[in-house]
Chains A and B, each alone.
Chain A
Amino acid sequence: MKELTLETLIAVFQEIFGAALFWTMVAVAIIITLAFIFVLIRDRSIEGRYLARAELSAPVGAIAAILFVQYMTNSGFSDIGGPIDIIVLLGTGVAGAGGLIFLAYVVQAFMRQPDKDGY
């Protein structure tokens, strides 16, 4: 690849997931991010208890992301052939974990019961 541009990257991801699924995932990611920003502004803080609970979902997100990428690319764990493959696998896992933490945090923040939380 001679030069890595945003356009090329978007084209690559569209190719991996198909245009419809890719843009749906982008939309979902944007909605979750906006929702996160919304609760941050609303609460003016990160709620530690929500964060701790959200972090429990991280392994689920990591494993789901890895299995999803393997399914989409006709490959599996036995295809790991060198250090860079492990790095890519871990990167995929971290992305999945991060995504689900955000989602879980936002869901909890929206579902919070002001009375019980005392504010």
Chain B
Amino acid sequence: MTEPDRIALSRRGFLGMAAGGMALAGVTAGPARAQRIKTQAKIVILGAGAAGTAMANRLVERLDGAKITIVDGRKRHLYQPGFTLIASGLKPANYSVSSTAEWLPNGVEWIEEAAAEIDPEANRIVTTGGKTVAYDFLILATGLKLDWDAIEGFDMNLVGTNGIGAVYAGPEQAHATWGAMDRFTDEGGKAVFYRPATEMKCAGAPLKYTFLTDDYARRKGSRGRVEIHYAAHNKSFFSVPIVNEKVRMLFDDRGVKPCFDHVLKAIDPGKKILTFATPEGEQEMDYDFTNVIPPMVAPDVLRNSPLPWQDGPWVNEGWAEVDKETLRHARYSNVFAVGDCAGVPKGKTAASVKWQVPVAEDHLVADIEGKLSPAAYNGYTSCPMITRVGRAMLVEFDYKNNLTPSFPGVIAPLEELWISWLMKEVALKATYNAMLRGKA
């Protein structure tokens, strides 16, 4: 052994290297929190989904002594962004399922009943079990209602059979939809996809599932026997023009046949016929595989209250009439709405929730302190638009339909990338969970 083969290393040098390594890792600890505000305020949160749970966790951190009550009868918490992955056979049905209880912080009272009535004049709500809860501040986080009854002939028990899928219906139905899609892409035939004409959760999801069906048919070598149609509800595939144009090009590339101004009205599972309302009257299309997506409206408890928009395009849908920047109710200043039930022009997604909740929270806390909050929600939402298994486009935009990429120059928003797929497949749920805990 000759000396030059040995690289001498002093203890000090070694310690220096270790410190350098840690510095390179460059990971910061969590941001320091401001001092908690003392208050006796009674805060009621309706709904323990993504928005309600995130809000509860954040308020507990911000306020000291507040009486926070969360009202929701559902024992299961559903990670809804996972439904597409379940319906593509990439994740099991339980991938999206956890319990409501595990996400709720200590110091919050959970009433395990749904809300039945909201009385914003008297500042109180009544639960389905007849409990009356008074509040100083009300957070609406009720989510939305999938109006399955609006589709004539649809029967939830048929999902997974007769070529009927229903990805939105829940994790079990998403899993059953995968069974139907798997069979369809083996056998071939005609697939028909579409979206409702109402506001909806994740408007990218119907497109993703169209792309995924195409991808499976290609992988299995059955694409030649598969016909794929997409019936848009108006004259575009997506509300953001630049994204719509990209989808148009991708559909063209993948051989997806588009038609426009088609809104699903009825399904005949026996004859396998879909009926659409169009400007030219009712039109029928036969199908061998379809993903039924019903109209989406605010839950009855919200629609039957004085809180929805009283005029404008959403009168029949019942979304809460809130300021689109502050999320504060237009007529009841101690009421805020976050998540799907908020009547704002963009974003019924978990990504919107993540940006909305801190804004509403800050305005509420400022009210308690007697201050004004500068926080404003700009309509940010994001959609990792899967274009095949292994690739996605990380589409992010705001109220103005501007693209708002989080990683400009690094992750191109309209490019089909592996890294965007990695984000959807693995990083999103972790970020979502951190959001539920109020940490992201």
Q: How many residues in B have their beta carbons less than 8 Å from beta carbons of A? A: 42
Say how far B59's CB is from chain A's closest CB, in angstroms.
Answer: 18
Contact between B419 and A85, CB atoms less than 8 A apart = yes
**A84 in contact with B434 given A1-B406, A4-B28, A79-B390 (CB within 8 Å):** no
Q: Mark A5-23, 1 if CB is under 8 A from B, else 0.
A: 1111101111110000000
Q: Are B7 and A48 in contact (CB under 8 A)?
A: yes
Contact B430–A11 (Cβ < 8 Å): yes
| Interface residues in A48-64 (C-beta closer than 8 Å to B) | 48-49
A48 to B3, CA, bound (A): 10
Instruction: Decide if A73 is an interface residue (CB 8 Å cutoff).
Output: yes
- Asked whether any CB of chain A lies closer than 8 Å to the CB of B410, the reply is yes
CB distance from B123 to the nearest CB of A (A): 32
Q: Report B-chain residues with C-beta under 8 Å of the C-beta of A2.
A: 354-355, 440
- The chain B residue with its CB closest to the CB of A72 is B426
A77, B415: Cα distance in complex, Å: 17
Q: Output the least CB separation between B54 and chain A (Å).
A: 12
Report if A15-B426 is in contact (Cβ < 8 Å); known contacts: A4-B27, A47-B6, A48-B7: yes
B434 near A8 with CB under 8 A, answer yes
The answer on a CB contact under 8 Å between B389 and A15 is: no
List of A residues within 8 angstroms of B9 by Cβ: 40, 44-46
Closest residue of chain A to B30 (Cβ to Cβ) is: A5
B8's nearest neighbour on chain A, judged by CB, is A45
Q: How far is the CA of A73 from the CA of B426 in the complex (A)?
A: 7
Q: How far is the CB of A103 from chain B (nearest CB, A)?
A: 17
Q: A residues within 8 A CB of B419?
A: 84-85, 88
Q: State whether B90 touches A74 (Cβ < 8 A).
A: yes
Q: Assess the A7–B439 pair: CB atoms within 8 A.
A: yes
Among B4, B8, B429, B431, the residue within 8 A (CB) of A1 is B431
Closest to A5 in B: B30
Which among B7, B27, B418 has the greatest number of chain A C-beta atoms within 10 A? B418
Do the beta carbons of B5 and A1 come within 8 Å of each other?
no
User: Does B416 lie at the interface of the complex (its beta carbon under 8 Å from any beta carbon of A)?
Assistant: yes
The answer, yes or no, to whether A78 is at the interface (CB within 8 Å) is: yes
| A79: nearest chain-B partner, CB-CB | B390
Given A7-B439, A73-B425, A117-B1, verify A79-B391 contact (CB < 8 Å).
yes
Cα A72 to Cα B422 with chains together (Å): 10
Is B417 part of the contact surface with A, judged by Cβ < 8 Å? yes
26 sampled A-B residue pairs with Cβ under 8 A: A1-B431, A2-B440, A3-B28, A4-B27, A5-B28, A6-B27, A7-B434, A8-B430, A8-B431, A12-B431, A13-B430, A15-B426, A15-B430, A45-B8, A48-B6, A73-B390, A73-B422, A73-B425, A75-B421, A75-B422, A79-B388, A81-B391, A82-B412, A82-B415, A84-B417, A88-B422
Please list the residues of chain A having a beta carbon within 8 angstroms of any beta carbon in chain B: 1-9, 11-16, 40-41, 44-49, 72-76, 78-82, 84-85, 88-89, 117-119
Q: 8 closest A-B pairs (Cβ-Cβ)?
A: A79-B390, A48-B5, A75-B390, A15-B430, A12-B430, A11-B430, A85-B418, A16-B426
Query: Which B residues lie at the A interface, using CB under 8 A?
Result: 1, 4-9, 11, 14, 27-31, 90, 354-355, 388-391, 406, 410-412, 415-419, 421-422, 425-427, 429-431, 433-434, 439-440
